[in-house]
Amino acid sequence: MANKIITKAELARELCFSRARISQLCRKGLPVRPDGKLNRAEALAWVATYNSPWRGGWGYSTVRDGCRQRAPMPDVSMVGDIDLEQLLSELGDYAENVLKDLRERFPDL
Protein backbone atom coordinates (compact mmCIF):
# COMPACT_ATOMS: atom_id res chain seq x y z
CA MET A 1 0.00 0.00 0.00
CA ALA A 2 3.07 2.24 0.15
CA ASN A 3 2.85 2.95 -3.57
CA LYS A 4 -0.92 3.02 -4.07
CA ILE A 5 -2.11 4.66 -7.30
CA ILE A 6 -5.36 6.63 -7.04
CA THR A 7 -7.48 8.86 -9.25
CA LYS A 8 -7.92 12.58 -8.76
CA ALA A 9 -11.51 11.93 -7.67
CA GLU A 10 -10.33 9.52 -4.97
CA LEU A 11 -7.86 12.09 -3.66
CA ALA A 12 -10.58 14.73 -3.69
CA ARG A 13 -12.85 12.52 -1.58
CA GLU A 14 -10.05 11.72 0.85
CA LEU A 15 -9.08 15.37 1.34
CA CYS A 16 -12.66 16.72 1.21
CA PHE A 17 -11.81 18.84 -1.85
CA SER A 18 -13.74 19.17 -5.08
CA ARG A 19 -12.39 17.43 -8.16
CA ALA A 20 -11.94 20.86 -9.71
CA ARG A 21 -9.71 21.90 -6.81
CA ILE A 22 -7.52 18.82 -7.34
CA SER A 23 -7.15 19.80 -11.00
CA GLN A 24 -6.12 23.31 -9.91
CA LEU A 25 -3.52 21.84 -7.58
CA CYS A 26 -2.19 19.67 -10.42
CA ARG A 27 -1.61 22.83 -12.45
CA LYS A 28 0.21 24.31 -9.44
CA GLY A 29 2.57 21.35 -9.15
CA LEU A 30 0.82 18.39 -7.54
CA PRO A 31 2.73 15.40 -8.97
CA VAL A 32 0.69 13.55 -11.60
CA ARG A 33 1.66 10.33 -13.37
CA PRO A 34 1.71 10.23 -17.19
CA ASP A 35 -1.58 8.29 -17.16
CA GLY A 36 -3.28 11.12 -15.22
CA LYS A 37 -3.44 9.24 -11.94
CA LEU A 38 -1.67 10.06 -8.70
CA ASN A 39 0.70 8.29 -6.38
CA ARG A 40 -1.24 8.61 -3.12
CA ALA A 41 1.79 8.99 -0.85
CA GLU A 42 3.42 11.62 -3.08
CA ALA A 43 0.16 13.54 -3.43
CA LEU A 44 -0.51 13.59 0.32
CA ALA A 45 3.08 14.64 1.01
CA TRP A 46 2.82 17.44 -1.55
CA VAL A 47 -0.43 18.73 -0.05
CA ALA A 48 1.01 18.56 3.46
CA THR A 49 4.13 20.44 2.32
CA TYR A 50 2.38 23.18 0.37
CA ASN A 51 -0.64 23.64 2.63
CA SER A 52 -0.14 26.92 4.49
CA PRO A 53 -2.61 27.07 7.37
CA TRP A 54 -1.19 30.41 8.47
CA ARG A 55 -2.29 31.81 5.08
CA GLY A 56 -5.72 30.22 5.17
CA GLY A 57 -4.65 26.76 3.98
CA TRP A 58 -6.81 24.66 1.72
CA GLY A 59 -8.94 23.04 4.34
CA TYR A 60 -6.85 19.85 4.40
CA SER A 61 -8.64 17.53 6.76
CA THR A 62 -8.14 14.01 7.97
CA VAL A 63 -11.89 13.72 8.54
CA ARG A 64 -13.26 11.18 6.11
CA ASP A 65 -16.90 10.80 7.06
CA GLY A 66 -18.99 13.86 6.42
CA CYS A 67 -16.32 16.29 5.26
CA ARG A 68 -18.52 19.33 5.44
CA GLN A 69 -20.56 19.71 8.58
CA ARG A 70 -23.85 21.56 8.43
CA ALA A 71 -24.79 24.07 11.08
CA PRO A 72 -27.43 22.73 13.44
CA MET A 73 -30.98 23.78 12.67
CA PRO A 74 -32.76 25.73 15.42
CA ASP A 75 -35.62 24.00 17.16
CA VAL A 76 -39.04 24.97 15.88
CA SER A 77 -39.89 26.01 19.43
CA MET A 78 -37.21 28.70 19.24
CA VAL A 79 -38.94 30.30 16.28
CA GLY A 80 -42.46 29.88 17.65
CA ASP A 81 -41.72 31.59 20.99
CA ILE A 82 -40.79 34.96 19.51
CA ASP A 83 -43.15 37.74 20.60
CA LEU A 84 -43.18 39.87 17.47
CA GLU A 85 -45.02 42.77 19.08
CA GLN A 86 -42.54 42.99 21.98
CA LEU A 87 -39.56 42.74 19.66
CA LEU A 88 -40.87 45.49 17.39
CA SER A 89 -41.79 47.77 20.30
CA GLU A 90 -38.18 47.62 21.46
CA LEU A 91 -36.98 48.71 18.03
CA GLY A 92 -39.06 51.91 17.89
CA ASP A 93 -40.39 53.79 14.83
CA TYR A 94 -38.36 51.76 12.37
CA ALA A 95 -40.06 48.66 13.68
CA GLU A 96 -43.51 50.18 13.17
CA ASN A 97 -42.76 50.74 9.49
CA VAL A 98 -41.37 47.22 9.15
CA LEU A 99 -44.42 45.76 10.90
CA LYS A 100 -46.77 47.72 8.65
CA ASP A 101 -44.93 46.47 5.58
CA LEU A 102 -44.95 42.88 6.82
CA ARG A 103 -48.68 42.99 7.57
CA GLU A 104 -49.38 44.28 4.07
CA ARG A 105 -47.29 41.53 2.50
CA PHE A 106 -48.36 38.77 4.88
CA PRO A 107 -51.89 39.38 6.19
CA ASP A 108 -51.82 36.16 8.24
CA LEU A 109 -48.91 37.41 10.37
Q: What ranges do the domains of the chain cover?
A: 5-55, 76-105
Please report, for residues 3, 7, 13, 21, 76, the alpha-carbon distance to residue 30 in angstroms, rounded to integers and kept in the order given. 16, 13, 16, 11, 47
| DSSP string of 10-76, one letter each residue | HHHHHHT--HHHHHHHHHTT----TTS-EEHHHHHHHHHHH--GGGT--------SSSSPPPPPPPH
Burial of residue 39 (number of CB atoms within 10 Å: 0-12, 13-18, 19+): middle
Q: What is the mean pLDDT of the chain?
A: 76
In sequence order, what are the residues at sequence separation of 6 or more whose Cβ sits closer than 8 angstroms to the Cβ of residue 44? none
Q: Quick count: other Cβ atoms within 10 Å of Cβ 57?
A: 11
Spans of the chain, pLDDT less than 70: 1-2, 52-82, 84, 88, 109
What pLDDT, on the 0 to 100 scale, is given for residue 107?
78
- pTM, two decimals, is 0.49
